[in-house]
Amino acid sequence: MSYVDVGKENSTSIHLYYEDHGSGQPVVLIHGYPLSSASWEKQVPALLAAGHRVIAYDRRGFGKSSQPTTGYNYDTFAEDLRKLVTHLKLKDFTLVGFSMGGGEVARYIGKYGSKDVNKAVIMGGIPPYLLKTDDNLEGVDGSIFAGIEKAVAADRYAFFTEFFKNFYNTDVNLGKRVSQQAIQASWNTAAIASATASLACVPTWHEDFRRDVAKIDVPTLVIHGDSDRIVPFAAAGQRTAKLISGAELVVIKDGPHNVAWTHADEVNDALLKFLAKPGAKGQATAPKRKAVA
């Protein structure tokens, strides 16, 4: 197993677990809450078959990475990603972020610029700004996030059970696009995550990424399910696509939050077509479009 050292907490090193497969142009996969890099299992084979080098890692506090009690904020998450990219000496790579991972994509470019970044993909991502404020009326009421924090603090295991119902829209998709066993596997992954991380990550969901998104100057693909009950399309993906010049928007019809699993064929098709296009910063990109899968 491979790890990169990203810091220390007292006498203990903080390590990120990662996997590095294949060859060709690198694609870095950044998972969502409360999962791990294993959640990309329907994308990794397709990317490898298309000739890409695929790197997937576990965010601090999740999966096989260390579980410190510090660093659960987007500046640190972006710094962790930067240390992984530097460790692997990646060039001309694509960042693909799902849900919380969309925040890493935005903050990484916002903080470090797009040098060596070829393209960006934000899937069901939390940018640009989920919290409803006087200057962000399209956001979600703060009481929703407060309620989630309270539920996680009280009994995170019970919270995860309810959370995954809306993560996959099980009332519509169970037994059709997702099995009970797959949901159980997601629950198992969530259960082994750090209790600290499980709670501390919730307020990061309403980080203000508007300035970060404005700095994204590489070809960008936004993928979002129009039936996302966790990160509403109108508050997130739709706005992100409008804020990034030339961004492509793919809306997955009836797609829940985790379209990477329930609508893997549509997601993989959009992802591979986008990756096959010319990339470098400053190059002309395709006009903004809306595709409905």
Could you report the per-residue pLDDT of 272-281, keeping only the tens digit for each?
A: 999 999 875 5
Check if the beta carbon of residue 247 is closer than 8 Å to that of residue 146: no
CA distance 42 to 248: 22
**What's the average model confidence in pLDDT over 116-144?**
96
**What's the average model confidence in pLDDT over 74-78?**
98
Two tokens at 261?
């699993």
Check if the beta carbon of residue 114 is closer than 8 Å to that of residue 281: yes
Catalytic member of 58, 206, 228, 263? 228
Whether residue 2 lies in the annotated active site: no
CA distance 277 to 219: 9
**What are the DSSP calls for 211-227, one per residue?**
HHHHT--S-EEEEEETT
Whether residue 36 lies in the annotated active site: no
Could you report the per-residue pLDDT of 183-233, keeping only the tens digit for each?
A: 999 999 999 999 999 999 999 999 999 999 999 999 999 999 999 999 999
**pTM for the complete prediction?**
0.95
CA distance 146 to 221: 31
CA distance 70 to 9: 8
Residue 287 has pLDDT above 70, yes or no: no
Provide the pLDDT for residue 286: 38
Check if the beta carbon of residue 171 is closer than 8 Å to that of residue 262: no
CA distance 55 to 291: 27
Catalytic member of 99, 114, 186, 198? 99
Q: Is the dihedral of CA 204, 210, 213, 215 positive or negative?
A: negative
Whether residue 224 lies in the annotated active site: no
Nearest to 202 by CA among 157, 246, 159, 145: 145
Domains of the chain with bracketed CATH: 2-292 (3.40.50.1820)
Catalytic member of 31, 52, 224, 257? 257
Provide the pLDDT for residue 281: 52
